[in-house]
Amino acid sequence: MSTINWEQEVEKRKEELIATTQRFLQIDSVLDPDTAGEGAPFGEGVQAALQFALQTCEEAGMTIKNINGYAGHAEFGQGDECIGVLSHVDVVPPGDGWTIPPFAADIIEGKIIARGALDDKGPAMAAIFAAKIIKELGLPLQKRVRLIFGTDEESGWECVKRYFETEEMPTMGFTPDADFPLIYAEKGLTHLVLRQTSESFDQLTHKNRLDASQEGATQLLSFHAGMRVNMVPEIAEAELACHPEQAAAWTEAYQIYLEKGQRRGHITQTDKGVAFSLQGVSVHGMDPGKGVNAGAYLAKFLQNCDLDVRGRAFVDFIATYLFEQHDGATMGIKVEDQEMGPLTMNPGIFHYVAGEEVRFDLNIRYPHSILFEQWKPKLEQVASEHGYFLEIITHKKPHRVDPTHPLVTTLQRVYTERTGEKAELLAIGGGTYGRALDVGVAFGPLFPGRQDTAHQRDEYLLVEDLLKATAIYAQAIFELAKE
């Protein structure tokens, strides 16, 4: 059995693999609520892609099942245990600026260029052909293999939710929807909101015996920054009501603040007073220290302005707890573990309108050595001291498979045998589709050093990498299912 030449087996099927991948990519499988209906909850394009994947598997002799259009699977092999390979057939909208049409799937200079080439239809087809090779060679298996196809990975993950309500959870498995060598651990992910109503603030000021005599001369009318909780806000804007002389003084002070910090921004005088804007550097919220949070930097300046009580409390809260506080230290929730690194906090959305509700959206990612229940009360405590309620919008626990688990060690060994490279284990702050499996890791398809074009224009997968990944997946599925 050890004499199977996996690369050669892929090579024999190369033309068919490439042509089938191209046809798969030519189906526009962007979520489309307009064409959604019974059996096609995410639209006709997504459904056509699911059917294409299932049909390709059926033609290869696997048994298929479509779960009401939410997901589907193709199965072969025998035994009680089940090895899962989870991929998805939906893609994000292509956007503009492509050099060739995004659903043409042309091959240029060894690259298959198409929306979904890398994420995730190319690798899904690699997994299908990997399974096909095992079947065609008639290799004996002691377990069942199930290729599972999701249809809603790029938005709400309703597909896997619905799928696992009625379908079996594989004993173990992998998803070809991230990076090689192997991602075995992902931080816990939360979207939390701190909310303060006028009433909750009034109660607080009453308790703290603040009164109108402490009221500043300037009113903070509004403050906004950020659009998405998992991104560092790029732009912040604030409006103040004040006297014209005051506005002139701040214009000068703000210019100095911007110059000192080498930030870009504007200040303009308005009917009521002044309007500020500040430009930060937006990066992904999993690594907020790499960006510049526009909201935090604008609030820091506004601390100098003689604001009304609530406005001042708002900017002080930001300056104390959110300004350059990527690890939540002042919140008292800082924690770091050797394996997964530090807890990270990204204040992704700031919202303030005078007299209305104040809101911060936080994206906190935490390592597995601390429980959500351990740090959440600390955050809640700080929040309530400042008149905020903590609301949990989403919470996903850390996901981790023990590095000594046979799933991890087998995939590591296969990767090394097929590439000659050491298979370093990765722990990340992001989330992969692997967490939809109870015992699941992410395994490819992006090789180290390759450009990650997922979700970008001119997304591509090198033909060479498609073939290499297929050989790796074939051996991986066989080794996991053979005994």
Binding to Zn ion by residue 177, rule CB under 5 A? yes
For residues 50-109, which are near Zn ion according to CB under 5 A?
A: none
**Crossing angle (nearest 10°) for helices 44-59 and 14-25:** 160
Task: Based on the residue annotation, tell me whether 327 is a catalytic residue of this protein.
Answer: no
- Closest contact distance (angstroms) between CB of 465 and Zn ion is 16
Task: Pick the piece of the chain touching Zn ion (CB under 5 A) from 96-104, 171-179, 196-204, 465-473.
Answer: 171-179
* Interstrand relation of 399-400 and 182-186 (parallel, antiparallel or unpaired): antiparallel
Task: Pick the piece of the chain touching Zn ion (CB under 5 A) from 40-48, 172-180, 193-201, 242-250.
Answer: 172-180
Task: Based on the residue annotation, tell me whether 16 is a catalytic residue of this protein.
Answer: no
Nearest-10 Cα torsion for 453, 456, 462, 465: 40
- Comparing CB distances to Zn ion, the nearer of 296 and 469 is 469
* Interstrand relation of 358-366 and 344-353 (parallel, antiparallel or unpaired): antiparallel
The mark string for 293-332 relative to Zn ion (x by CB under 5 A, - otherwise) is: ----------------------------------------
What CA–CA distance (Å, rounded) separates 93 from 116? 10
- Comparing CB distances to Zn ion, the nearer of 178 and 319 is 178
* Interstrand relation of 82-88 and 172-175 (parallel, antiparallel or unpaired): parallel
**Secondary structure (3-state) at 57:** helix
- Comparing CB distances to Zn ion, the nearer of 28 and 119 is 119
Task: Pick the piece of the chain touching Zn ion (CB under 5 A) from 120-128, 218-226, 323-331, 462-470.
Answer: 120-128
> Of the listed 152, 153, 154, 237, which one is catalytic?
153
Binding to Zn ion by residue 120, rule CB under 5 A? yes
For residues 255-294, which are near Zn ion according to CB under 5 A?
A: none
- Closest contact distance (angstroms) between CB of 49 and Zn ion is 13
CB 215 within 8 A of CB 307: no
- Closest contact distance (angstroms) between CB of 186 and Zn ion is 14
**One-letter identity of residue 185:** A
**Secondary structure (3-state) at 351:** strand
- Closest contact distance (angstroms) between CB of 153 and Zn ion is 5
Residue 80, classified by CB atoms within 10 Å of its CB into exposed (0-12), middle (13-18) or buried (19+), is exposed
- Comparing CB distances to Zn ion, the nearer of 119 and 361 is 119
- Tokens for 54, please give them: 């299932």
Task: Pick the piece of the chain touching Zn ion (CB under 5 A) from 176-184, 334-342, 416-424, 465-473.
Answer: 176-184
- Tokens for 345, please give them: 């906090």
- Comparing CB distances to Zn ion, the nearer of 177 and 239 is 177
* Interstrand relation of 425-428 and 182-186 (parallel, antiparallel or unpaired): parallel
Task: Pick the piece of the chain touching Zn ion (CB under 5 A) from 67-75, 117-125, 245-253, 317-325.
Answer: 117-125
- Comparing CB distances to Zn ion, the nearer of 9 and 120 is 120
| 442 bridge partner residues | 175, 183
Any residues with CB less than 8 A from the CB of 44 and at least 6 apart, and which? 32, 35
Total residues contacting Zn ion by CB under 5 A comes to 3
Pick from 90, 119, 186, 459 the residue near Zn ion by CB under 5 A. Answer: 119
- Closest contact distance (angstroms) between CB of 140 and Zn ion is 32
CA 195 to centroid of chain Cα atoms: 24
Task: Pick the piece of the chain touching Zn ion (CB under 5 A) from 50-58, 61-69, 122-130, 175-183.
Answer: 175-183
What CA–CA distance (Å, rounded) separates 275 from 28? 44
- Closest contact distance (angstroms) between CB of 456 and Zn ion is 13
Name which of 315, 330, 276, 323 is nearest 297 in CA terms: 323
**Crossing angle (nearest 10°) for helices 44-59 and 121-137:** 20
CB 373 within 8 A of CB 383: no
**Secondary structure (3-state) at 104:** coil
- Closest contact distance (angstroms) between CB of 91 and Zn ion is 8
> Of the listed 9, 75, 90, 152, which one is catalytic?
90
- Closest contact distance (angstroms) between CB of 433 and Zn ion is 6
- Tokens for 102, please give them: 């995004």
- Comparing CB distances to Zn ion, the nearer of 75 and 120 is 120
Binding site for Zn ion (CB under 5 A): 119-120, 177
Query: Which residues are tagged catalytic?
Result: 90, 153
